[in-house]
Amino acid sequence: MAQELADHRTSPVDQFFQFSLLGLLAAGYLAVVGSGYLDGATILVTAAALMLRALQVAGLPQLRVSPSIVTILTLVYFAFYPIDYFYVSRSFIPATIHLVFFVAVVKILTASTERDYLYLKIIAFLELLAACILSSSLNFFVFLMMFLLLSVAMFASSEIRKSAQRRPLTAKVSERALGYRLTGLVCLVSLSILVITSALFIFLPRTARAAFQHFVSHKYHLAGFSGEVNLTQTGEIQREDTPVMRVRMDYPEDRRLPLKWRGMSLAEFNGRRWFNSYDRGETLQPDESGQIALSQQDAKERHISYAVHLIDGDTDALFFAGTPLFLRIDTPVVRYAVDNLRARTPNPAGLQYQVFSRLDPLNTESFAGDLTPLTPKQQQIYLKLPTSLDERIPGLARQITLLERRPGDQARALEHYLRTHYAYTLELPQTELADPLAYFLFDRKKGHCEYFASALAVMLRGIGVPARVVTGFQSGIYNPVSGWQIIRSSDAHSWVEAYLPYQGWTTFDPTPPDPNPPKLSLWTKMNFYIDAAEIFWQDWVVNYNLDRQLQIATNIESRSRHVSANWLEQLTRISRAIQGVSFSDVRRIVIPLLVILVLGALAHQFGSQAWAWWLSLRPVKKARRGEASASDATLLYERMLRALKRRGIEKPPWLTPMEFARVLPEADLSLLVEDFTGAYNALRFGGNADAAGRIVRILSQLETR
């Protein structure tokens, strides 16, 4: 078997087949990796197995794994599978994916028979099937195209390989040209498959998406956003540029506004954590027009309209800029007592909704709730401080606002103080603290946005101003390619809302600007195009449904009706244009064109024959002078074959020249060709220059018969 495998490695077809099969496995593997379901150990082990096998196919290392070791490893893993299912992965799909990749690693390293290769093909298909279920992003389409291309390459080379093993080759094939020709064939077939399947995808009904959504439990969460603020975390905050939300403004002038995307307000603080303990709220249903009215509209204030797409999130929080007035969404919405809005049934593929909001003309970041004065219970909630609060914190707040009397001025004074006397950092304390807020204000004096927001809210409550902490996102970055605003996980932010008399809830942001803000690099600009492609993928592939099919069908029908209504008009215009052309104009244009076409047809029909005849003139002249060489004999023999072809006689490729001469139907012609072949052999292989004259004489007879 080892000798058989070594023979296969020397074959270019077998090497092409094995590289194609490895590429097929790699495409399925990368598609699953892109879904985010594989753990680090599985990723590294599978990648190492693929690389090692590629080196083996290239002929570098030789690794032999005994069948007994394979059997032991298999038994051990099958015993480990229930442990993985119940205690490690705790889910059927991840545990099964681990099993598939274990089998893949074993087969990748030990495959040597046709049955092993069949197993690898099945494993590659299972990898792609798993990625199809787990992933809905654009990278799946990229790996799907790789899988398609390599599948065609693998099956084409597999058939050639099997044919070569069944019977010996009758002719030597150029190894150098084989790869190029096979690659060209693979690309052509793959392109044809892609075109056909694209047409089928557009017109076939959508039926499977809902089933997949119910079959797979979605594991993603909205990165960078949380339903609480915890000040006891240690270590360091890592920036992630993963897009978590996209926003499209309906009017171009609103795209550069410094907006905050409010997600959730937190009312309760225990000295270490902000949270909400409520568990009930009011359910809001859309009206007959499909929208939910959230607040009263004021024609004098500025308004914005925008669409929001939450990407792959299982969070139920809805994000808004300004004060939402009207909301259009496909699911019921729950409004809680702290002005939070949540979707009752979040979609695993991400929420999409349209909003019409009101902006404060002086502060576009502000959120304005109901202007009705707070009830005593609400006052108690938004002024409550933990009993263990350090007394220095309210004292510092009173000291800063000593000269201010109005709540709005006091809030701005505290905001300014925090912005100018403290530093921003993503580094967290290295040890858990008993009173993290006091440590931030009086000892460390640097922190991230959650520390600044918590300090301002607590200090406002300490001087009698109702306040709460809000979590959400900064405005993000505008993508000029797609027209959407990209909000990433690194844009997550916390700020404060204070209740001011006659103004309602007003936004204050005490966090100083980041001293090292991200720059608009070349990679960021390239990501604009990737993000635009991702939006197209989500809209026209993942979310492609019957409504979009009807939209396309309507457009096609409208265009066809327009064409059919105007075809007579087009014919009339053409006929009028033809009537205005004189005969001299036609002659001046058409005759040269016809001459060019005739010359081109003649060149195509007789060009190669004329060129071959021209090349054969020189060896004929040399033969008459007695100077012909062995290479001239070949040209003269080809000229003889062309002469016979004009008589309807062609030489089969499997006959030798002498065998061909003896099977000719005419006896005298057979004698002439046999005599010519003898002279050709004498000149070609014997170097007899005297035979050249005999070749020329016989050739003349054959051409004049």
Asked if the structure places residue 550 within a domain, the reply is: no
Q: pLDDT, tens digit, for every residue of 73-127?
A: 778 887 888 888 888 777 777 788 788 788 888 888 888 888 888 888 888 888 8
Torsion sign across C-alpha atoms 89, 90, 96, 99 = positive
User: What size, in residues, is the chain?
Assistant: 705
pLDDT for residue 517 is more than 70: no
What's residue 9's pLDDT?
A: 44
Q: Pick the residue with more confidence: 554 or 68?
A: 68
Same domain, 51 and 93: yes
What's residue 525's pLDDT?
A: 67
Asked if the structure places residue 559 within a domain, the reply is: no
Q: pLDDT, tens digit, for every residue of 667-678?
A: 778 888 888 888
What's residue 137's pLDDT?
A: 66
Rounded mean pLDDT of 649-675? 80
Asked if the structure places residue 673 within a domain, the reply is: yes
Same domain, 520 and 631: no
Instruction: Say which range, 170-179, 595-604, 650-659, has the weakest mean pLDDT.
Output: 170-179
Asked if the structure places residue 583 within a domain, the reply is: no
Residue with tokens 């061909």: 660
Percent of the chain with pLDDT over 70: 68
Same domain, 7 and 49: yes
Cα(647)–Cα(641) distance, integer angstroms: 10
Query: What is the average pLDDT score of the chain?
Result: 75
What's residue 674's pLDDT?
A: 85
Same domain, 328 and 448: yes
Same domain, 183 and 234: no
Rounded mean pLDDT of 569-576? 58
What's residue 209's pLDDT?
A: 44
Residue closest to 497 by CA, chosen among 640, 613, 646, 363: 363
Would you give the DSSP letter of residue 256?
A: T
Residue with tokens 């290295």: 430
What's residue 356's pLDDT?
A: 92
Residue closest to 488 by CA, chosen among 242, 137, 263: 242
Instruction: Say which range, 300-309, 487-496, 565-574, has the weakest mean pLDDT.
Output: 565-574
Cα(52)–Cα(67) distance, integer angstroms: 19
What's residue 335's pLDDT?
A: 80
Q: Please list, residue by residue across 240-250, b when 16 or more beta carbons sit within 10 angstroms of its beta carbon and e when fewer do.
A: eeebbbbbbbe
Token digits of residue 284: 């809001």
Same domain, 519 and 611: no
Same domain, 190 and 58: yes
Q: pLDDT, tens digit, for every residue of 45-79?
A: 888 888 888 888 877 766 666 767 777 877 888 78
What's residue 223's pLDDT?
A: 45
Q: Final residue of a domain: which of 481, 513, 536?
A: 536
Query: Which distant-in-sequence residues (6+ apart) come within 8 Å of 304 by Cβ?
Result: 249, 250, 251, 254, 257, 321, 322, 356, 357, 359
pLDDT confidence band for 211 (50 / 70 / 90):
very low
Same domain, 272 and 237: yes
Token digits of residue 459: 């200090």
Asked if the structure places residue 586 within a domain, the reply is: no
**DSSP character string of 342-369:** EESS--TT--EEEEEEEE-SS-TT----
Q: Final residue of a domain: which of 153, 187, 214?
A: 214
Q: Final residue of a domain: which of 483, 514, 536?
A: 536
Q: Pick the residue with more confidence: 539 or 680?
A: 680
How is the chain split among helix, strand and coil, in percent rounded to 5? 55, 15, 30
What's residue 684's pLDDT?
A: 77
Asked if the structure places residue 221 within a domain, the reply is: no
**DSSP character string of 446-478:** EE-HHHHHHHHHHHHHHTT--EEEEEEE---EE
Asked if the structure places residue 65 within a domain, the reply is: yes
Asked if the structure places residue 585 within a domain, the reply is: no
Residue closest to 538 by CA, chosen among 138, 194, 205, 36: 138
Instruction: Say which range, 148-152, 533-537, 606-610, has the weakest mean pLDDT.
Output: 606-610
Cα(636)–Cα(641) distance, integer angstroms: 9
Q: pLDDT, tens digit, for every residue of 310-361?
A: 875 557 788 998 888 899 887 888 887 778 888 876 665 568 899 998 887 6
Rounded mean pLDDT of 281-305? 78
Rounded mean pLDDT of 588-612? 63
What's residue 181's pLDDT?
A: 65
Q: pLDDT, tens digit, for every residue of 234-273?
A: 555 556 667 788 899 988 888 878 888 998 889 999 988 8
Residue closest to 131 by CA, chosen among 116, 118, 146: 146
Question: Distances from the Cα of 333 to the Cαs of 213, 263, 303, 323, 341, in angstroms?
Answer: 21, 14, 22, 16, 7
What's residue 221's pLDDT?
A: 39
Tell me, what amino acid is at 383? L
Same domain, 45 and 156: yes
Q: pLDDT, tens digit, for every residue of 392-427?
A: 999 999 999 998 889 999 999 999 999 999 998 888
What's residue 1's pLDDT?
A: 36
What's residue 416's pLDDT?
A: 94
What's residue 427's pLDDT?
A: 81
Number of domains in the chain: 3
Residue with tokens 């080892």: 2
Same domain, 400 and 493: yes
pLDDT confidence band for 43 (50 / 70 / 90):
confident
pLDDT for residue 590 is more than 50: yes
Domain of 207 in residue numbering reads as 2-165+176-214
pLDDT for residue 174 is more than 50: no
What's residue 391's pLDDT?
A: 92
Q: Pick the residue with more confidence: 207 or 30?
A: 30
pLDDT confidence band for 215 (50 / 70 / 90):
very low
pTM of the model: 0.56
Same domain, 137 and 273: no
Same domain, 435 and 475: yes
What's residue 204's pLDDT?
A: 54
pLDDT confidence band for 465 (50 / 70 / 90):
very high
